[in-house]
Amino acid sequence: MDTAPAASTPQRRLLRVEVAAEILSVKRSTAYEEIRLGRLRTVQIGRCRRIPTEYIDDYVELLKREASATL
C-alpha cells in the first residue's frame, strides 16, 4: 500500500495580467490602468509583464487602507 502523500500541483507565483484581473474581479482594462498608475506593481520577463502573487496581496491591502481612510 502506497502511503506517500499525493503530489500537489505547484501554485503559480507569477500571473498574467488577465489572470490577476480575474482574481481581483476587475476588468482587464482596469488592471492595466492600475498598473499604469503604479498602484498594481508588475515585473518584466523579456517582453512579458507578470504580476507576482504577493503584489496582488499588496494591492488588496492598498485598497483596504484607502477604504478605511475615507470613513
The per-residue pLDDT for 19 is 97
The per-residue pLDDT for 48 is 96
What cell was used for 14?
Answer: 507569477
Identify residue 19 by its one-letter amino acid code. V
Q: What is the pTM of this model?
A: 0.81
- How many angstroms separate the CA atoms of 31 and 21, rounded? 6
Dihedral angle computed from the Cα positions of residues 54, 56, 59 and 60, in that order, rounded to the nearest 10 degrees:
-100
**Ranges of the chain with pLDDT below 70:** 1-7
The per-residue pLDDT for 9 is 76
